[in-house]
Amino acid sequence: MTMPLRDTVRTSKQFRTGLALFAIAGLLSISACTTPPAHDASPAPAPPPPLPSPHVVFEPIKGQSQAQQERDRYECFQWAVRKTGFDPSLPHNAPGTAYEEERLANRIQRFRRAMSACLTGRNYRVE
């Protein structure tokens, strides 16, 4: 029993169509399994805290005049610069790394402590 040629062509054509649909369905199912590139869901790192200010706020305890306060501030500033090796009135490069930023913050804090010690010794209350 042989099939007529027309039936063979139809069966072959149906088979190829089915095979093509199966291949397309397979490709679609594979493409649906791919995941889009993952975006980093972690929050952005917090910006570093601002550098401390070298400015020291003080007020006279023994009624020093404005001229005396200015003279004491100047002399204490000069003394703090000599003691710490840090002069906040000079331009400084912005710190590029966390290490440089920490180092600069430490230098500013040492300068502030030196200024505070000097002004306290000259009868000022330092805040």
Tell me the per-residue pLDDT of 46-84, one tens digit each, with 9 for 90 and over: 777 788 889 999 999 999 999 999 999 999 999 999 999
Backbone angles phi, psi at 124, to 5 degrees: -125, 150
Q: Reply yes or no on whether the pLDDT at 21 is more than 80.
A: no
From the CB of residue 64, how many other CB atoms can be counted at a distance below 10 Å? Answer: 16
pLDDT at 52: 86
Residue 89 DSSP one-character state: T
DSSP string, the chain: ----HHHHHHHHHHHHHHHHHHHHHHHHHHHHH--PPPP--SPPPPPPPPPPP----EEESS---HHHHHHHHHHHHHHHHHHHS--TTS--PPP-SHHHHHHHHHHHHHHHHHHHHHHHHTTEEE-
> pLDDT tens digits for 79-106?
999 999 999 999 988 888 989 999 999 9
Report how far residue 19's alpha carbon sits from residue 17's, in angstroms, rounded to the nearest whole number: 5
Which residues lie across from 93 on neighbouring strands?
A: none
pTM, two decimal places: 0.62
- Give me the percent of the chain exceeding a pLDDT of 70: 66
pLDDT at position 99 is: 92
Contact 80, 115 (CB under 8 A): yes
Q: What is the dihedral of CA 82, 88, 90, 93, to 10 degrees?
A: 120
* pLDDT in the model for residue 123: 96
The pLDDT of residue 32 = 58
